[in-house]
């Protein structure tokens, strides 16, 4: 008698996220209040769509929730990008004594 062979279970692949076409840019007037999914917002942020979705689930950023899905408004995307923008360094002016 031999030992039973282990069987592999098929892994379910996640469906590719749907990204809508002709999205307004977040810094335009129509994009300020538009709701972007994390995968749609990723093209304007320094994060991938999956990383954004994980950070939203951990509540690391401000977001809009409808109870099931998480969204970012254009204003939130602009604020997120500004938070990660490095400003150039300027020396302070010398004060004459």
pTM: 0.74
> What is d(CA 28, CA 49) in angstroms, rounded to the nearest whole number?
21
Sheet holding 64-65, edge to edge: 35-36, 70-73, 64-65
Mean pLDDT of the chain, nearest integer: 88
The tens digit of pLDDT for each residue in 52-70 reads: 999 999 999 999 998 888 9
Confidence bin at 36 (pLDDT 50/70/90)? very high
The tens digit of pLDDT for each residue in 77-89 reads: 999 999 988 888 8
């Amino acid at each position: 008698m031999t030992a039973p062979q282990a069987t592999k279970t098929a892994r379910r692949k996640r469906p590719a996220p749907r990204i809508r076409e002709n999205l307004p840019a977040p810094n335009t007037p129509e994009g300020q209040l538009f709701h972007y999914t994390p995968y749609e917002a990723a093209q304007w942020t320094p994060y991938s769509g999956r990383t954004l979705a994980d950070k939203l689930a951990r509540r690391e950023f401000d977001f809009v929730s409808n109870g099931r899905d998480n969204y970012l408004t254009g204003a939130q995307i602009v604020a997120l990008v500004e938070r990660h923008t490095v400003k150039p360094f300027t020396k302070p002016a010398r004060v004459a004594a």
